[in-house]
Amino acid sequence: MGELEYKVVVGLEIHVHLCTKSKMFCGCAVEFGQKPNSRVCPVCLGMPGVLPVMNKQALEYAVLAALALNCEIAEFTKWDRKSYYYPDLPKNYQISQYDLPLSSNGFIEIPLEKGQTKRIGIIRAHLEEDAGKNLHPAGNFSQVDLNRTGTPLLEIVTEPDMNSAAEVRALAIELQRMVRYLGVSEADMQKGHMRFEPNVNLIITRDGQEYKTPIVEVKNLNSFRALEKSVEYEAQRQLDEFLQTGITMETGGKSTRGWDDEREVTVLQREKEEAHDYRYFPDPDLVPVELTGQWLDDIKSCLCEMPIKRQIRYVNEYKLSDYDAGVLTAERSTADFFEGSIDAGGEPKRVCNLLTQVGLKLANERQCSVSDLGITPTEFAQIAKDVENGLISATGANKAIELKTQNPDKSFKVIYEENNLIQKSDAGELEAIVDKILAENSKAVDDVKSGGKKSKKAMGFLLGQVMQKTKGQANPKVVSQILTKKLG
């Protein structure tokens, strides 16, 4: 057997629930976790003679997401019926978009290692309605909950530009950040707001000959972990199958597989349908959508800076680490708060440290955003300045922030005074304390003066003694300067 090399090739289909108040073609409320079949009406149940009406907000959200994905937006788009029978599809067809999607030819940047990015092509992003949900309780029967039927769904289809499970995961995370930034979806995967379907195959080179394995679509993955694991598993499974049977695109067709989360394997579901199997045709009950220049401009005005662009800017402009910049830009409200504090005069790295180490920790504990902790960006900038100026220590600042969230009406100044957080920086007062410590610790003094290995350790010991004596209220910077001056 000759030498063998292979490359993983993955394209991704992503379904994103848009967070409109009502469904795509009827007035039923979109609400997660309600009593089964309690958010339905004759339209989404597919009763005879009913007529759908398009949700304008859903279309605007879809266009906004497509703009963020750098897509070309169609001025004219129509609705199509995609016919198939399934228990959770009461009409026996889904209203979707086939040959005239609302957008196409875009791209998204995904982060790679060491601050680099990779551009992944977007073939199309189109709007459709979701199906219901099949429930499989214990027993030999299934149940159908149609509350989800008709929920506005944005389907995004990428080019097969990803070459590893890690890249697929990075794209999914970036897309989640993006739709949350835009406010078009909560993208909560536990609630099924975001589902992934990777299309995986291999390009194998053996003895100078190239072979492609048949494409496998893994259906309905709703976690980053399942997405990454299924792509890893499927790549290995296809390689093993090729080595055993020599199967290629010419000898085997496309297939659909499910993911068994417990066993961490993909399981064959069915051979893949082609487009003609769905008998697409224009929906006779819905008028096409014509997007005027003014309407498109109104939607464009809602665009914001995308998270990955913001992350790269924070590294370049504020000299933050890529990790810190990623943490700050994970949620739009956190990034807005950070920038508000910078605009109010806070030093970027200091604000970043206080925000990532204290602010976000408290926000996570209280399950709210940083802006809901009861501290304004201006107040946050002030405490950062107070640490920079030596008025309080970094530890004192952490304590003050926590106390401020419990007493939002109190100013930081009052909190400092009430809790003895103000550092002693009076050189005269501190000098007297330093002299006393030096007199009591002659051995440490000799070790510092000897300039040997022990010198640094002894200096740290003396500084610690002064801090202990002042109950941590001495300004370490000032104490260090006094010690250095006195001990040469």
CB-CB contact of 69 with 104 (8 Å)? no
Give just the sign of the alpha carbon dihedral 455, 458, 464, 470. negative
Pair 232, 46: CB distance under 8 Å: no
In this structure, what are the phi and psi dihedrals at residue 349, rounded to the nearest 5 degrees?
-65, -35
Length of the chain: 488
3-state secondary structure of 288: coil
pLDDT, position 400: 93
**CA angle at residue 121 from 118 to 125, to 5 degrees?**
135
Is residue 71's pLDDT more than 90? Answer: yes
Say which range, 14-18, 24-28, 264-268, 440-444, has the weakest mean pLDDT. 440-444
Q: How confident is the model at residue 69 (pLDDT cuts 50, 70, 90)?
A: very high
How does pLDDT run across 458-476, given as a tens digit for each residue? 777 777 777 777 776 777 7
Residue 429 has pLDDT above 70, yes or no: no
Report how far apart the first and last C-alpha atoms of the chain are (Å, whole number): 74
Does the pLDDT value for residue 1 go beyond 70?
no
Which pairs count as long-range contacts for 403-407, CB under 8 Å and 24+ apart, including other chains? 404/374, 404/375, 404/379, 405/362, 405/366, 405/373, 405/374, 405/375
Q: How confident is the model at residue 273 (pLDDT cuts 50, 70, 90)?
A: low
**Full set of structural domains in the chain with CATH:** 4-296 (no CATH), 307-418 (no CATH), 427-487 (1.10.10.410)
Residue 375 predicted with pLDDT over 80 = yes
